[in-house]
Chains A and B, each alone.
Chain A
Amino acid sequence: MDSVFDELYQKYHHDVFQFLFYMVRNREQAEDLVQEVYIRVFKSYNRFEGKSSEKTWLFSIARNVAIDYFRKQKGWKERILEKFDWSSNQVKDDHPIPEEMAVQREEIKWVYKCLEYCTVDQKAVVILRFIHDLSIVETAEALGWTESKVKTTQHRSLKVLKKHMETFYRREEGNIEKVRVER
């Protein structure tokens, strides 16, 4: 096996995979996209200048791959070709709750669902900052933003999450109350 691949795999594979998973919220897609990340990495590995850390570099590639995926997903071409591509023409739930989530506490599930309401940028910031525990500087490097942009995006995304967490909460509360009344 390629030694470069081996090294990257050992060090970062699961991080990159997890990032992509939370971005696209689908295991199969994440598996496909992580391949794409490797392809791009191999293409430009020689050009890696070491200005940033390898990890943030990989995250920045993964983010671009995810953005390209979202862009493609909307295209008409993709939709038509899907009809021809019988291998993937299976009935699919677009956003199933993954196994790992299903076994978690209610609040964690809510957070996962609420992430859907964030924009791609907001999602990326939340995932890198909190799930991957990157610092603001690292996040800024990975996204190619200024630190202040990371901060404001982080602030906004937390606001979105909060808002939707509350609606989930209220819905839940309503259900409990209903049950009480019926009794």
Chain B
Amino acid sequence: MRKSEWSDEELVELLKQMPKIKDYRHPRDIYQNLSRKKRKTVSWILPGIAAAAALFLFFILAPKFMDTNHYSINNAKQESTKEAKIAKDNSDASGMANQESQADKYSTLKKAEGQNDYAGKTAVYDDEIKGGVVLTYWVPDNQAQNLVPVSTIVKNTEGKDWLTLYNEHMANLNESEWGLSEFYPLQATLHYDNANETVIVDVPSDHPYRQGTATEQIFLGALKNDISSNSSVKTIKFTTNGEPGIELSNDFYEKLTITDVKKHAYLFYYPNGSDVPFLVPTLESYKDIKAAIDAMKSGIEEYQLQRSLLPNLAIQDVSANDNTLTITFAKDASLEDERLAVWSMEAILLTAKEFGFEKVVVSNPPAANIGPFDLTKEIKVPAAPNLRTIEK
């Protein structure tokens, strides 16, 4: 029947010969599939939900990536200061200008170091307070590893209590200028409950301190240290938006008791880009002053803390007598770098204070004085570490 033209009849004949097509499936299967099929018609729901969830997560996470991550910002800053330093080192030819600017930098740093009448000293001494109030704020360092105590003297207190002053001044701290993490002002309001001798810390419901264990530890640590350094209050109560309790990343707190653990050793912490250290207490506490002095001979690398006792100003022996600590330097002790020696002396004084001593006597002074310290007399321990001025 192969030919070039087909009549309608022939075509119809061909169509009628088309094979019969059968559904080979069993009728039961078809019947069962009916219900399944109905469900299949909404197949867009799953990808739809997935897309909605992804969008939702994106909106939740995006703002967090953008602002509150201040640690990384600080890291970036460090990086840039490092680069700047390298650049300075490399350009020896045009070194003069650079050196000048470097000198400028140091001088500003020195100014920042505390407008201290006593050159080289970093701590606050009783005779400097002159009727002011010393406030100590514990500020996390750039890596959020150490809490660095920073003290300031507030004059013209007009009889306000410590907590009012503390609240007033925390906004004025220049953490980043000091090479530390921006932490203050706290996203919380603190007030004092006279009757119960309790500090009540109220945070807003969107407070930033629930982001991670580190943040939680820093927040609680700073609060405890701040309150114990500035007052004798032993209890903190937390409220969120007036409701009792605070939710942090790991736990829910209603109350916190401050246990005065002292007996720390002071080590040096150099913020990036600074050659002036902060004197920072170790996390660990020691059983007696001897163990603490021993601990000061070595740094703690993982916390970026450096030794505060110099190899050339070694301490041979310490002995306690009431509230006076007597230290004996090694025979070959010398004062090579007086700046360092002053800070080292302050570290000894602050550590002695941690153990309850009020005065330190040097039994065999290698020189008549170390910087401002007259080694022939007994030296009073400082009132607070790391004096910095804050401007209103």
Residues of A within 8 A of B (CB): 1-2, 5-6, 9, 13-14, 17-18, 21-22, 30-32, 34-36, 38-39, 42, 77, 81, 84-85, 98, 100-101, 104, 106-108, 111-112, 126, 130-131, 133, 158, 161-162, 165-166, 169-170, 173
Q: Which of B41-49, B120-128, B244-252, B361-369 contacts A (4 or more CB under 8 A)?
A: B41-49
Q: CB distance A5 to B31 under 8 Å? A: yes
| B320 is an interface residue with CB less than 8 A from chain A | no
Q: In the complex, what residues of A have CB within 8 A of residue B46's CB?
A: 84
A106-B2, A166-B5 are known; give 14 further A-B pairs, CB within 8 A.
A1-B27, A1-B31, A6-B27, A13-B30, A22-B18, A31-B23, A42-B34, A84-B43, A84-B46, A100-B19, A111-B18, A131-B15, A162-B6, A169-B4
Residue of A nearest to B35 (CB): A39
| B22 CB to nearest chain A CB (Å) | 5
| Residues from 12 to 44 in B contacting A, C-beta threshold 8 Å | 12, 14-23, 25, 27-28, 30-31, 33-34, 37-38, 43-44
Q: Given the complex, which residues of B lie within 8 Å of A14, measured CB to CB?
A: 20-23
Task: Give the number of chain B interface residues (Cβ < 8 Å).
Answer: 32
B23 to chain A, nearest CB (A): 4
Partner of B18, one of A9, A39, A131, A165: A131
Across the two chains, which residue of chain A brings its CB closest to B22? A14
7 smallest A-B Cβ distances: which pairs?
A130-B15, A17-B23, A100-B19, A18-B21, A84-B47, A21-B21, A35-B37
Report chain B residues within 8 Å CB of A32. 37
Contact B43 A38 (CB under 8 A): no
Bound state CA distance, A6 and B30, in angstroms? Answer: 11
Cβ B30 vs Cβ A35 within 8 A: yes
**Given A111-B14, A169-B3: A13 in contact with B23 (beta carbons within 8 A):** yes
By secondary structure, the A interface counts as helix
Cα separation A32 to B37 with both chains bound (whole Å) = 8
Residues in A with CB closer than 8 Å to B23 are 13-14, 17, 30-31, 34
Report chain B residues within 8 Å CB of A35. Answer: 30, 33-34, 37
Report if A1-B17 is in contact (Cβ < 8 Å); known contacts: A84-B46, A158-B11: no
- Contact partner of B4 among A36, A42, A104, A170, CB < 8 A? A170
Contact B20 A18 (CB under 8 A): yes
In contact, B4 and A133 (Cβ under 8 angstroms): no
Contact A39 B11 (CB under 8 A): no
Contact of A158 with B8 in the complex, beta carbons under 8 Å = yes
Tell me the complex Cα distance, A6–B47, Å. Answer: 36
Of B2, B17, B20, B25, the residue contacting A169 (CB under 8 A) is B2
Q: Chain B residues with Cβ under 8 A from A130's Cβ?
A: 12, 15-16, 18
**Given A36-B37, A166-B5 in contact, is the A22-B30 Cβ separation under 8 Å?**
no
Which residues from chain B contact A131 at a C-beta distance below 8 Å? 15-16, 18
Residue pairs across A and B with Cβ atoms less than 8 A apart, 25 shown, are: A1-B31, A5-B31, A14-B23, A31-B25, A35-B34, A38-B34, A39-B34, A39-B37, A42-B34, A84-B43, A84-B46, A84-B47, A106-B2, A107-B1, A108-B14, A111-B11, A111-B15, A126-B15, A130-B15, A158-B12, A161-B11, A165-B11, A166-B4, A169-B2, A173-B4
Q: Residue among B11, B28, B46 with the most chain A CB within 10 A? A: B11
Chain B residues within 8 Å of A, Cβ to Cβ: 1-6, 8, 11-12, 14-23, 25, 27-28, 30-31, 33-34, 37-38, 43-44, 46-47
Residues of A near B38 (CB, < 8 A) are 39
B contact residues around A13 at 8 Å (CB): 23, 27, 30
Smallest beta-carbon distance B45→chain A, Å: 11
Please, which residue of chain A has its CB at the minimum distance from the CB of B15?
A130
Q: Which residues of B contact A42 (CB under 8 A)?
A: 34
Q: How far is the CB of A128 from chain B (nearest CB, A)?
A: 11
Residues of B with C-beta under 8 A to A100? 19, 21
Measured between beta carbons, the chain A residues less than 8 angstroms from B43 are 81, 84-85
For residue A8, which residue of chain B has the nearest CB? B27
Q: How far apart sit A38 and B23, CA to CA, in the bound complex (Å)?
A: 14
Check if A17 sits within 8 Å of B37, measured CB to CB. Answer: no
State how many angstroms separate the Cβ of B223 from the closest Cβ of chain A.
50
- Kindly provide the distance from the CB of B156 to the nearest chain A CB, expressed in whole angstroms: 70
A45–B318 Cα distance when bound, in Å, is 103
Whether the pair B21, A165 counts as a contact (CB closer than 8 A) is no
Query: Which of A9, A98, A101, A108 interacts with B30 by CB under 8 Å?
Result: A9
Q: Is the CB of B28 within 8 A of A108?
A: no
Separation of A18 and B21 alpha carbons in the complex (Å) = 5
**Contact assessment for A107 and B22 in the assembled complex, using a CB-CB cutoff below 8 Å:** no
Q: Cα distance A161–B15 when bound, in Å?
A: 10
Q: Quick one: given A2-B31, A13-B23, A35-B37, are A108 and B17 in contact (CB under 8 Å)?
A: yes
B16 to A133, Cβ gap below 8 A? yes
Q: Which residue of B lies closest to A85 (CB)?
A: B43
A36 CA to B33 CA, complexed, in Å: 10
In the complex, what's the smallest C-beta–C-beta distance from B36 to chain A, in angstroms? 9
A126 CA to B15 CA, complexed, in Å: 8
